[in-house]
Amino acid sequence: MKAFIFYRNFNSKNNILFKKYSHFFYSFQLIQPYTKIELEELNKTQTFKSLIENVEINPRLIFLKKIIKDFENYLQKPIEPIKPSDIPILKYKLGIKEFHIYLPLGEKMLLESQFLEQGVIIKRVEPLFVKKFNTFNDFYNALKVRAIDVNVNFKPKTVLEKELFLKMTEYKKHISLYAEHRTKLSSKNTSNLSPYYALGVCSFEQILTFYKQYLDTEFFRQLSWILYCKLKYEDIPKWNISNKLSMFEEWLTNKLPSSLVNDWVNEQMVLLKKGQMLSNRTRLIISAHFIRDLGNDWNYGELFFRNFLIDGHTMINRYNWYAQSKNRFLKNYNIPLQLKKFA
C-alpha cells in the first residue's frame, strides 16, 4: 500500500515551461507510510495487511481517491505521480536549483524517502513553532499569542475545497456547543473537518486563520492539540517489537467474544470500516480496551488506526496512542461507566 500526499504551492508560474510540467506541482506523492519494522509486522498478519491495503474497503484510501479525482477534475487532466527520479529532470528542464515541496501534513513521512537523496527541500506551510513546550497548556497559551499573526487564507477552488469551506462556515454556528458535543460517544454534532485536514485538502494554518476569532473557546483549544502532537512526535520512542498481541484477529474482524464492552467495540469496528467518523471519546475507549483489557502492544492498534481511519494523521494518531499507553489513570479507567455516562 502507498499513501498519497499532495502539495500545490510552487513559485514558478512565470516560467514558460510551467504549464507543460504543471502536473508535477499539483502532484500526489506516493510514499510508503510504514517503517521497515512496521512493514515486517504487517506481513505477519494477513488480515491486518489485507484490510489496510484494500482500496475498495479502506475508508482512508477511498477518500484519498476522491481527493485525487477532485483535483484531476479541477486541473482537467490526470495527475501523474512524481517519482524521485523525476527531480533531476525537472531541475534541468525548469532551471530550478532547489526543488521545494510545501506540505500541509506528512513531512515526517517524507524524511525516509528517496526524495531527500535528490536534494528535495521539505517545508511546511507557515511553520508556527519549532521550540518545545513542557505542557500542553504552555503551548496553548503561546499559540493564542502567535495565532494573531497567522494569516493563511483558505481560497477554495476545487469541489471538495468548496465543500469543506461550507462545512467550516456552517460550523461557526455550533462552536459554542463544541465542549458539550466532543465528550459524547457519537461524532454526529462535531465539526467533522478532520478528514479534509488530515489528507491535505487544507492546512492547519488555514483552519487557524478561519477560526481566529474563537481563540478562547474549547474548540480552538482542541484544535491546537493537532499542532501540539506534531511538536511532541519526536519524543515518541521507535517501535521495539514486544510481541504482545492477544485476540488481534478477533479485534480486526469485529469478532471479540461477547461481553458488554467487547460487543460495543465490535460495533465501532464495523462502523469504522463503513467510513464513519469515530468521536474522540470513542477512540480513547477503544485504545484503552486494546492496550489494557486485551493486553496488546499499542503500536499495533495505532498502525491500524493510522492507515484505516478516514481522518488518519500520522503524527496526531501516533502521539495519541502513545499518550494513552503512558496514561497513569489507565488502570482505573472504567469503560462500562464511560459507555453509560457519555452515550
Instruction: Specify whether 22 is located in the same domain as 120.
Output: yes
Local structure of 121: helix, strand or coil: strand
322 confidence band (pLDDT: 50, 70, 90): very high
Put simply, whether the predicted model's pTM sits higher than 0.75 gets the answer yes
Instruction: Specify whether 254 is located in the same domain as 329.
Output: yes
Rounded mean pLDDT, 182-186:
87
Q: Which domain holds residue 104?
A: 3-124
Grid cell of 160 as nine digits: 471538495
Q: What is the pLDDT of residue 134?
A: 83
More confident residue, 106 or 97: 97
Query: Is residue 213 in a domain?
Result: yes
Number of domains observed in the structure of the chain? 3
Helix H or strand E segment including 77:
none
Exposed, middle or buried by CB within 10 Å (0-12, 13-18, 19+), for 156? middle
Residue with cell 511553520: 127
Instruction: Specify whether 117 is located in the same domain as 53.
Output: yes
Instruction: Specify whether 293 is located in the same domain as 257.
Output: yes
Query: Is residue 243 in a domain?
Result: no
Do 291 and 330 meet the contact criterion of CB atoms below 8 Å apart? yes
Supply the CATH number for residue 254's domain.
1.10.579.10
Exposed, middle or buried by CB within 10 Å (0-12, 13-18, 19+), for 153? exposed
More confident residue, 129 or 265: 265
Which of 17-21, 71-75, 86-90 bottoms out in mean pLDDT, i.e. has the lowest?
Answer: 17-21
Rounded mean pLDDT, 18-26:
38
Instruction: Specify whether 114 is located in the same domain as 20.
Output: yes
Query: Is residue 131 in a domain?
Result: no
Rounded mean pLDDT, 18-45:
54
Long-range contacts of 125-134 (CB under 8 A, 24+ apart): 125/9, 125/152, 125/203, 125/204, 125/205, 125/206, 126/150, 126/152, 126/203, 126/205, 128/205, 128/227, 129/227, 129/231, 132/231, 133/228, 133/231
Which of 200-204, 265-269, 324-328 bottoms out in mean pLDDT, i.e. has the lowest?
Answer: 200-204
